[in-house]
Structures are given as C-alpha cells and as structure tokens.
Chain A
Amino acid sequence: MQNNIDGYVLQVSDLGVKLQNQTILENVNLKLKKGIVLAIVGPNGAGKTVLLKSLLGLMPHTGKIVWAPNVRIGYVPQNIEVDDIPISVKDFLSFENAVDLESSLSPVKLERASVAGKTLGVLSGGQLRRVLIAWALADKPNVLLFDEPTTGVDHDTEEPFFVMLNELKRKNMITVLLITHDVHIVREYSDYFLALNKCVTYFGESKDIMKPEVQRIIYGETVCLGTSNETR
C-alpha cells in the first residue's frame, strides 16, 4: 500500500501476524525517515524475518503498512538455493533485463573478470552476498531490506561489507532495514535499532545498544512497547 505519509518512507501501524493460530508478531508500530539505516535485532523466533516479509507483502498480516509513493524496494533474503543450479553471475544479474555487468558489480566491489562467468554455487559467502546486493540494486531501489546480510561471511569480510553498504547508502540516499544478531554491527553501521520479541521491546538510537539497561530490555524479560517508534 502506498500513500502520502508525511515525509516518512515507511509507516507501520499495529502490525500483527498469526500463523496456524500462533501469534508471530503483534502491535508493531514504526515510522522510518528516508536515508536511515534501521537494524532489527532480537532472539531466534522473535519474528524478525516475518516482519521483513510482511513489509514486502509476502505474509498475510493485520494492521497497516504504508510505503511512501514511488518507493522501489530491493530485497536480499537470508537463504537462497544455488548449489544445484548451473547459473552464472552474468545469468543471474541479467535475469530481468540485460545489464552492464561492469556498472552492476563495481558498486559492490566485485571485478567482472573474476566473477561474471562463475556459477553462483562456487562463490564464497561474501561474494554471493555482494552479487545478491548487486541484483537488488539493479532496479535502482531507494529502500533495501536485508535479512542477515552477513550469514556465511567470515569476520574479515564482514567489516568491508558494511563499509560498502554505508557508502552505497550515503551516495544514493538509500533507506536500509537489516536484520542482524551482531550488536557491534548495529552500533557501528546503523542509525537506529528496533528490538523484537514478537512485539517491539525497544526502539532507540544504535549508539545506546551496548548500555547494560538496554541489553537487559532486549535480551531479558519481554515487555512490549505499544508506542509509536519514530526515527528523526
């Protein structure tokens, strides 16, 4: 659903998701400004992926999700099945339209000559994630949704990955929502974070995530926030 929403890229009101009569998410409220990186944290089963899928319209839900007009969303899922499919990087990036491989791969710091002919299944975790981002960027999105973008990526590759993400965000004023378990990543590379445990348990600026009282709220006993969670 897209409407005029007072300068916000995204506005979520009273979002709820139930699957097989079990509550997966309830009472999620969020307002997000353009160009913000929002990290979504929480324990396993907290509903983080379900939230992203709901925002994409992939899950049946209650409540309201309103994207700004002309929003173009790029999505990078947590898991993809590529081991068994003989699809090259070139095939994958040209899926919808023929693309200039050079300009698709350079923003994600991959060299055409070294990866274009390789099948996705033989790429390293970091290379595959970068190719997925290149794919998500092909439609020139102004919003990127990442579900655990550094899954399968070693620690040495993780840091440059987020540096690259920040660069992309700065250059293109892209709004980013990313799911991560890494509080260091939240603090260094996001502006705000939303803690979930079936409902929103904390919302605030990312620099606060290491504070003991905030950690207790995120990983301690769940107390839901019903208020509007709004970025500046």
Chain B
Amino acid sequence: MPTALDTLVLSLVIGGFVGVSAGYLGSLMVLEKMALVGDALSHVALPGLALGILFNFNPFVGAFAFLFVSAVVVWHLGRVTKLPFETIVGAVFTFALAVGVLIIPEAELLEALFGDITNVTVIETLVAVAVSLGAIFLTRLIYKKLILGMISEDLAISKGINVGRVNLLFLLLVSVIVAVGIKIVGTLLVGFLVVVPGAAAKNVSTNLTRYALLSAFFGVVSACSGIALSVYLSLATGPMVVLSGIALFLATVLAKSRMK
C-alpha cells in the first residue's frame, strides 16, 4: 500500500515530466496558432476514457487511441479541405465531448474532466516518464523543420522538408502528451499544459533556444507547484495546476510591460 508521501513523489515525477514535455511541445503550438487545437484535442479523449471504463480496460489506452485517430483525421481533413486546423478540431471536439459525456458513467465523470493523481501507480509514472522523454526527443528532431514551415512553407519545401509529414508527426506527439496529461489535470484542463507555458515564455523570449527552454521550465513549474499546493491545501489538482500556471503567465506579462 503506497503511503501519501509515495503518492506525492510519484505525482510530482509525472507532473514534472509531463510539464516539461507539454511546455516544450506547446511552445510550437503557440507559434503555429494551434493553441486551441491542443485544448480541443484533449476533449476528444473523453469518449476513449468512457469506453475504457465501460469495457473494463485502461481508460488512458482508450483516450490515447481516440486522440491518435483524431489527430490523423484532423490532419487529413486539413490537407483535403484547406480549412484551418482550429476550424476542423472545433467541429470534431464538440462532437466527441458530447458523445463522451453521454456514455461515461457519472461517478467517473469528475475524474475524467478534472484529473486525479491520488491513485497514481509506479507503472503509470514510468510510462509517463518514457512517453515524455520520447516526445521531447522526437520533437527536438523536427523543431527547426516546424519553425521553418511556419515562417514559409515554400521555403521549407524548397529545402526538401516534407511539411505535411512533419506536421502529422507533431500532431501525433501532441496527442500522446495530451493523453498522459489527462491523468494530472483531466480532459477539460489539459489544454492548459500545452498553451499557457508557451504563451508565458513567448512574453519574455527573444530567441528560439530561450523560448523553448523557458516554455519547458514554466511547464514543469506550473505542474509541480500546482500538485504540491493541491496536496497541501487539499484541493483538486487540475485547477491548482492551472492557477499556478496563470500566476506565472501574469508574472511574464508584468515583466514584458517593464521591458518596454
């Protein structure tokens, strides 16, 4: 039987790794104006969680499967229709949220929506660490390609970069991180982890290296301080993680206004 201290340590480890990876990947989402895509994608996980609970398999496997398929569908529709990702995701996620809320058992709805790390296991922690490290490694490989594609798709293609394939890989990596992040902050709030650290870092960055590092740093600080505060104050984890991150964001807004 794990002690409260064991649970806290495991939660902080998960929070730290997911915070770093979500912040790092989120720095690209913010630049690509895909911030809301990360948020919306997270809602797509809900039907997957529900199916896991209903049919007695790990809900996070269901969530991950739904996210993975949705990312591919969104990417494909984006290429075919030329509509912005945000428009397509907007349609897909409301549908998924509606279906998810209808089929998920009421008892588990709150945990799915807002996260719960009081029953986190060692295996879940190890998976979260491995997935986070893998996502950071792969994103690092395509980081510059994605940035060049944002600056000019023509310029990127003329350099031999397959922009479509790189974007798909990135969307899949975001899906993976969102699936892991749901455990901490739930489907409603996980979008925060890929949006706010990047937005905060952008306020105080003048070069890419600083931007990416600060975004990852703000991610880990938001997650870990939120988890610690939630345990200390006996409050829900997800909202506390969000509030910690928002405090950081406001601090960077203040710093930016002083820099001018």
Contact between B207 and A86, CB atoms less than 8 A apart: yes
CB within 8 Å: A-B pair count: 57
Beta-carbon contacts under 8 Å, A66-80 to B: 73, 75, 77, 79-80
Q: Considering only CB atoms, which chain B residue lies closest to A80 in the complex?
A: B152
Measured as residues with beta carbon below 8 angstroms from the partner, the interface class of chain A is: 20 to 34
Checking B152, B157, B202, B207 against A88 with a beta-carbon cut-off of 8 angstroms, the contacting residue is B207
Q: Digitize B116-144: 1 where CB-to-A-CB distance is under 8 Å, 0 elsewhere.
A: 00000000000000000000000000001
| Distance of A86 Cα from B205 Cα, bound (Å) | 6
Contact present for A90 and B207 (CB under 8 Å): yes
Q: Mark B15-47, 1 if CB is under 8 A from A, else 0.
A: 000000000000000010100000000000000
Give, as a whole number of angstroms, the nearest-CB distance from B197 to chain A.
14
Q: Mark B201-214, 1 if CB is under 8 A from A, else 0.
A: 01001111111000
A29 at interface, CB cutoff 8 A: no
Chain B residues 205-256 with CB under 8 Å of chain A are 205-211
If over half of B's interface residues share one DSSP class (helix, strand or loop), that class is named, otherwise mixed; here it is: helix
Task: Please name the residue on chain A nearest to B204 by beta carbon.
Answer: A86
Whether the Cβ atoms of A87 and B155 lie closer than 8 Å is no
* Min distance, Cβ A173 to any Cβ of chain B, angstroms: 21
Q: Which B residues touch A56, using CB under 8 A?
A: 154, 157-158
Question: In the docked arrangement, what's the CA distance between A92 and B205, Å?
Answer: 15
Cross-chain contact A86 with B157 (CB below 8 angstroms): no
- Residues of chain B within 8 A (CB-CB) of A77 are 152, 154-155
B147: interface (CB < 8 Å):
yes
Q: What's the interface size class on B, roughly? A: 20 to 34
The 8 A CB mask of A35-71 against B (1 = contact, 0 = none) is 0000000000000000001001110000000000000
Q: Are A95 and B202 in contact (CB under 8 A)?
A: no
Contact among B151, B157, B159, B209 for A82, CB-based, below 8 A: B151
Closest residue of B by beta carbon distance from A145 = B158
Produce 1/0 per residue, A118-137, CB < 8 A to B: 11100000000000000000
Partner of A87, one of B33, B147, B152, B159: B147
Given contacts A56-B158, A79-B152, A80-B152, 4 further A-B contacts (CB under 8 A): A56-B157, A57-B158, A81-B150, A86-B210
12 A-B pairs with C-beta separation under 8 A: A56-B157, A58-B154, A75-B155, A75-B158, A80-B151, A81-B151, A85-B31, A88-B208, A90-B207, A95-B144, A95-B148, A117-B207
